[in-house]
Chain A
Amino acid sequence: MKAKLSTGLTLMLLVSLLLFSFQASAQDGTVSVMGVWGGGELDAFNKMIEPFEAATGIEVQYEGTRDLPTLLTTRLEAGNPPDIVAVSGPGMMKDLAQDGDLVNLENVFNMSYLREDFDQKWLDLATYEDGMYALFIAGDAKSLVWYNPKVFEENGYEIPETWEEMDQLAQQMQEDGISPWSIGLESGAASGWPGTDWIEDIMLRTASPEVYDQWIAHDIPWTDERVKNAFEIFGKYAKDPNMVYGGPTSVLSSNFGDAPNPLFTSPPRAGLHRQASFITSFIKESNPELEAGADFDFFPLPSIDEEYGTPALGAADMLSMMNDNEDARKFMKYMATPGAQSIWLSELGKLGTHNRINPNIYPDETTRQMADFLNNAETFRFDASDSMPAAIGSGAFWQGLLDYVSGQDLDSVLENIEERADDAYSSGNATN
C-alpha cells in the first residue's frame, strides 16, 4: 500500500511539473524555438540570440530534436506549438501553412523593407498562396564545380560558360592526359547521395524548376523521359572511363571526401569535381597546405539549356512563426537583421541570403563568391532528395544511382525507384 501511495505521489508531482513547464513556455518574456540544430549549430544559435536576450530581456527557450516533423505534430495536436520553428524547407513550410499553423509574416514585417533586404527569389520561396510564411537566415550552394587554378593556368584552360564549353574543356583535358572528372559516391550506409546532387542539378538545367518541383512531389513518375535523360547525362560522365578518373569502379569505391584529391596531385590526375560548398573543409583536411582561391577555386555548374539559365541548387535555413505574440514578433524582427544573421554565417561558414550582409564576414574570397553566386542565381531550389520522403530521398534514389553506375539497365533502375515511390508517397499525381 505504501509503495503504491508513493508511486502515485511521484506521478502526480511529475504531471504537475510537466503542466507547469508547458505553462512556462507560453508565459510572457519567453520565446520558444524548435529546430534540428545541435552541436556546433546550437552553439552558433546561442551566440546569435545572446544580444537579443541581453537587449530585450526575453528568454529564448530552444528545443532541439532530430525528428522535427514528429515532435511538431505532437505539439500541434496538444495545442501547444512552439512560437518559432526552423522548418526544413519550403515543402514543410507549405504543409504547415496549408493547415493554418503558421503566421503570415506579411503582417509582422514591414514588407517594403524586407523587399529591399532580400532578393525576390527568397521571398517567392517563402510565399504560399497569399502569404509569406518563412524568413531566410542562411543558405548553402551545391551547384559548384571545383578546379585547381594552377593547373588551369599552366594548361591554358578557360572557365567554361556553357555545358558545351565544359565538354570541350573535358576533351582538352583528355588530350593532356588528365581525366576530366573526379567523382566519389561512397559514403558508408549513405553511399550514393553525391550522385543525387548531380541528377538534381541536371534536372534543373534540362527540365525547368517547375518540372523539378513536380518530380519532388511525385507528380511525374521516375520513369519520365526527363528524369531518364538526367540519369543518362550523369552516366555519360560517371560511367565512362575516359571521362571520369578510374572509371565506374573508382566512382563507386571512392569516398566523397577523398574525391577532390586527384585534382591536387602532381601531376594532376583529374581536372574537375562537382560538389557543395562544404567540400572545402575536406580539401583542407587532406591537403592542409592548399589555400582557397589560389590552389582551389570553383565555377558555377554551367547551363545546359539556355532557357533555364544557371540555377543554384542548395539548402537554406528558414524560420517560421507559429504563435503571433509580441515577443515572437520581436524575435523574428531581430532574426531579419543582418547583424543577427552575420553571427550565424560567420560561425558556421554558411552563405548569406540577406542583401545587407557585410562581405567581410566571410573567411575568404571563395566564400564571398559562393555567396554572390547564390544570391545572383535567378533560380534557387532545395536539394530534391532532402525534400522527398526518406524512403526515396535517402533510400531508393541512392540505391538506384549505385545500381545504374555499376551497370544495371537504366529502365529497370527507374522502375525500381518508381515502385518504391508508389509506397512512400501519399500524394502526387504519379502515385498509384
Chain B
Amino acid sequence: MEELGKKKWVALFVGPATLIVGLMLLYPSIHTFILSFFGPNSEAFVGIENYIYAFTNQTMLISFRNNLLWLVVFTSLTVGLGLLFAILSDRVRYEKIAKSVIFMPMAISFVGAGVVWKFVYTYRPPGSEQIGLLNQILISLGMEPIGWLIQGPWINNLALIFVGVWMWTGFCMVILSASYKGIPRDQIEAAKVDGATEWQVFRFVILPHMAPTIAVVATTMVVNVLKIFDIVYVMTNGNFRTEVIANRMYKELFQYRNFGRASAIAVVLFVLIIPVIVINIKRMRGEANE
C-alpha cells in the first residue's frame, strides 16, 4: 500500500509535465514526421519523395550552404567578439557604459533589426542621393555604391549574418563576462608573477576556466543559427540566393501550401539540432556531477 501511495505521488508530480510535453511537443513532432511522408495536402503517401526534394533541390542546397555559412561565421563571430569584449571591457573604467551599448541591440526584435539594417544597406544607383548609410560612406570615400542585399553569394549573405552578429554579440559578452569575473584573480596574478605573457595567461589560465561557459554560449548560438528566419525574411525574403532552411520551410508551408515538403524540411531541421541538444544535456549532467 505504501508503494502504491508513492506511485500516486510520482504520477501527480510528473503527470502534468508529461501531459503538456506530450501534447505540445511530442504529438506535433510525431505528426510532422508522419506528414513528411505525404503529398502537398497530406492525402497521398509519397514515401521519401519529400526528403529527396529536401536534399537535391537546387534552392534547398543553397539554403543548406547558407545555413552552414551562418553556422561558421555567426557562431565564431558572436562568441569570439563576445569573449574579446568581455575581457577588454574588464580593463576600462567605463566598463558599464561600453557593455550596455554592446548589449543594447539584444533589446530590439529580429524584425525591427531587419528593418533598421535594410535602411543601412539601401542601394541607390551611382549619381543619385544615397539614403543608405553604408553606401553614403562608400561614396564619400570615392567608391561606387554596392547592392549589399543583392550581390551574392558572399556580400548579401555576410551582410545578413552581420545583422545577427550585431544583435547577439552583447548576449555572449554578458555571459562570458560573468564567467571571466568568476576566475580567481590570484591565479592570474600568480601566472603573471611567474613571468607568463598576456597571451600565455589567456591561453593557459583564462581559457581553461571559461571553457564550459564558452561551450554553452556556442551551442546556444548554434541552435540560434539553425532557427534563423526573421532577419532573412524581412531583409531579402530569401531572394538572391540568401535562402535559409527555416525560411524555406515557411515558404513551402504558407506560399506553396505543400505540407509534405514543409514537414520534411522541419524534420531535417529538427534532426540537425539534435546533436547540439545532446551535447548540451551531457554537459549539464557533467556539471551536476562535479
Answer yes or no: do A and B interact. Answer: yes
List residues of chain A with CB under 8 Å of any chain B CB.
188-189, 191-192, 245-247, 249-250, 252-253, 262, 265, 269, 390-391, 394-396, 399, 402-403, 406, 412, 416, 420, 423-424
**Complex partner residue of A406 from B122, B127, B240, B255, CB under 8 angstroms:** B240
What CA separation (Å) do A402 and B233 show in the bound complex?
15
CB neighbours of B256 from chain A (8 A): 391, 395-396, 420, 423-424
Seed contacts A406-B240, A416-B59; 20 additional CB < 8 Å A-B pairs: A192-B239, A246-B124, A246-B125, A249-B125, A250-B125, A252-B147, A253-B123, A253-B149, A390-B255, A394-B255, A395-B255, A396-B256, A399-B239, A402-B240, A406-B241, A416-B58, A420-B256, A423-B40, A423-B256, A423-B258
Partner of A253, one of B122, B233, B255: B122
B283 at the interface (CB under 8 A from A): no
Q: How far is the CA of A424 from the CA of B124 in the complex (A)?
A: 37
Q: Could you tell me the distance between the alpha carbons of A391 and B152 in the complex, rounded to whole angstroms?
A: 25
> What chain B residues lie within 8 Å of A399 (beta carbons)?
239
Contact partner, A191, options B40, B125, B152, B239, Cβ 8 Å: B239
Docked complex: B17-75 residues within 8 A CB-CB of A: 40, 58-59
Interface SS of B by simple majority: loop
How far apart are the CA atoms of A416 and B258 in the complex, in Å?
15
Q: A249-B123, A391-B255 are in contact. Are A189 and B147 (CB under 8 A)?
A: no
Residues of B within 8 A of A249 (CB): 123, 125, 147, 150-151
Assembly CA distance A269 to B237 (angstroms): 29
Residues of chain B lying within 8 A (CB to CB) of residue A394:
255
**Known contacts A189-B233, A390-B255, A395-B255; A269/B127 CB under 8 A:** yes
User: Contacting B150 at CB < 8 Å: which of A252, A390, A424?
Assistant: A252
* CA of A412 to CA of B127, assembled, Å: 34
10 nearest interchain CB pairs? A246-B125, A249-B147, A391-B256, A253-B123, A395-B255, A250-B125, A402-B239, A189-B237, A252-B150, A249-B150
Q: Are the C-beta atoms of B255 and A188 separated by less than 8 Å?
A: no
15 A–B contacts from the bound complex (CB under 8 Å): A188-B237, A247-B125, A249-B125, A249-B147, A249-B151, A253-B147, A262-B128, A269-B128, A394-B255, A395-B256, A406-B150, A406-B152, A412-B58, A423-B258, A424-B256
Task: Give bound CA distance, A317 to B59, whole Å.
Answer: 38
Q: Is B257's beta carbon under 8 Å from chain A? A: yes
Cα of A269 to Cα of B129 in the assembled complex, Å? 12
Q: Which of B233-282 contact A (CB under 8 A)?
A: 233, 237, 239-241, 251, 255-258
Residues on B with beta carbons closer than 8 Å to the beta carbon of A406? 150, 152, 239-241
A84 vs chain B, min Cβ distance (A) = 29
| Selected contact of A252 from candidates B58, B240, B255, CB within 8 Å | B240
User: Closest approach, in angstroms, between the C-beta of A127 and any C-beta of chain B?
Assistant: 32
Chain B, residue nearest A403 (CB): B239
Residues on B with beta carbons closer than 8 Å to the beta carbon of A412: 58
Within 8 A of A (CB), among B96-138: 122-125, 127-128
Closest A-chain residue to B53, C-beta based? Answer: A419
- Residues on B with C-beta less than 8 A from A247 are 125
Q: Which residue of A has the minimal Cβ distance to B131?
A: A258
Chain A nearest CB from B127 CB (Å) reads: 7
Determine the chain A residues whose CB is within 8 A of the CB of B150 once the complex forms: 249, 252-253, 406
A189 to B233, CA, bound (A): 7
Per-residue CB proximity of B165-206 to A under 8 Å, as 1/0?
A: 000000000000000000000000000000000000000000
Given contacts A253-B149, A424-B256, A245 and B125 within 8 Å (CB-CB): yes
